[in-house]
A and B are shown apart, each in its own frame.
Chain A
Amino acid sequence: MLWLRKTYRNVTRTLRLVDFRAGVALDGQKAQTFFVHVKNNAGTLQHGLFVDYNVTLAPAYADRIIGVIAPGNTYANTPTVGAGTDFLNGGGITANIFVLNTLGQTGNLHFAMAAVEYYDGNVVRPRPIPTFGSRDVNGVTILRPEIRFINDMTGADWTINTTNIPSGKSIGFRFMGALA
């Protein structure tokens, strides 16, 4: 280990190696990443948030998602959210969209990507599009992160339902980005 005197030049040099222990933020949006698993359990869609495809550990970087059931790696029945139906376990679906329960986001600050990491439905290949969408969920209309799915060839809506995800099958996707 070299010894460094605490001079202006050395401080500016060493600060270039920075370890963020409380999270990284960009314009007030905190960096987040997690794996969302939606499965068809005997005809009922259920979802949970996890670290990864192994679906055992709770996500360490998902604190901007509201209402995730502790300890965070738990499945719950997936609600079809709407004006009179709230989120459960941090999320809900509407047609071809998975909506995440967050505070209000700012549309032009969108900084995120999504990737389907697993799909075994053997029906149609899904392609994910992360967006901030304005939607009334249980009487609250704000911009929230939404993952919109389309047919990866035709661009048609890929609806999150028990047709595209048959019984015993599932889809898993990762969100990586920044959320208010």
Chain B
Amino acid sequence: MNLANAERVDRLFDVRGYGNTRSFFPYHLLYGGGAGYAIDGQKVQTFIAQIGTTGTNHWGRMHGDAWFGYPASYADKVIGAKMDGTATIIPTVGPTVDFVAGMGITGNSIVFNTADQNPAAFWGIVSMEYYDGNVARPRPQARFVSRDVNGTVRYRLEVSFTDDITGAAWNVNPTNIPTARFMEFRFMGVLA
């Protein structure tokens, strides 16, 4: 097997690297993240976001799955994401309030801390995997939205919620997620 054939054969491949956490080869030093598939410069990602309520605060964390809570191996494009299982208070982000643990809340949306995205190249889908608030059913949709967070205006991944039958905004607040309750949703798609 010479170099030319190696290049050809390797195009039929199994992409390995497990985000940036388990790769033997230092891809994260070379490319700013682990090995993985990309489409138009956007890398394949999937993860669970969990948002719950304690009193008037919302806590959050990210996982690879919604039931057993394995850490997500394909979420390295979310800046500051924590995968250690600990819950962190998630702020209402705005022009002077930054993300915590890769996430923020505003109105009926969860905003993820990412690099600047191209809204015309959105490639993603989201689904609710858990909700026990027993108030109103949330219907999620994902897209890239331009927003000022802590003085930086750029397009980021946002997951917004509407009431699944009236279409009204389903706000992420202690009314829809009462204390000790939570929701979990999965994003699957690609992110720059």
Contacts and interface: CB of A to CB of B under 8 A. Distances in A.
A17 B36 contact: yes
Contacts, number: 118
B26 A57 contact: no
A19 interface: yes
Nearest to A12: B10
A42 interface: no
A20 B16 contact: no
28 contacts: A14-B30, A15-B10, A15-B11, A16-B13, A16-B16, A17-B27, A18-B15, A19-B39, A20-B39, A20-B40, A21-B41, A23-B39, A31-B39, A33-B122, A51-B120, A52-B143, A53-B143, A54-B119, A60-B123, A117-B139, A117-B141, A119-B164, A120-B166, A120-B167, A123-B165, A125-B164, A172-B141, A176-B125
Contacts of A7: 3
Given A1-B30, A16-B16, A118 B10 contact: no
B37 to A, nearest CB: 6
Interface residues of B, number: 46
Nearest to A8: B6
B17 A113 contact: no
A17 B143 contact: no
Interface in B34-65: 35-41
A61 B123 contact: yes
A159 to B, nearest CB: 16
Looking at chain B's contact residues, is the secondary structure mostly helix, strand, loop, or mixed? mixed
B136 interface: no
A133 to B, nearest CB: 21
Contacts of A117: 139-141
Interface of A: 1-2, 4, 6-8, 11-21, 23-24, 31, 33, 51-54, 57-58, 60-61, 113, 115-125, 169, 172, 174, 176
Contacts of A19: 38-41
The 10 closest A-B pairs by CB, nearest first: A120-B167, A117-B141, A52-B143, A19-B38, A16-B35, A53-B141, A15-B10, A176-B125, A17-B35, A51-B122
A13 B25 contact: yes
Nearest to A21: B40
A24 B15 CA distance: 14
Contacts of B16: 16
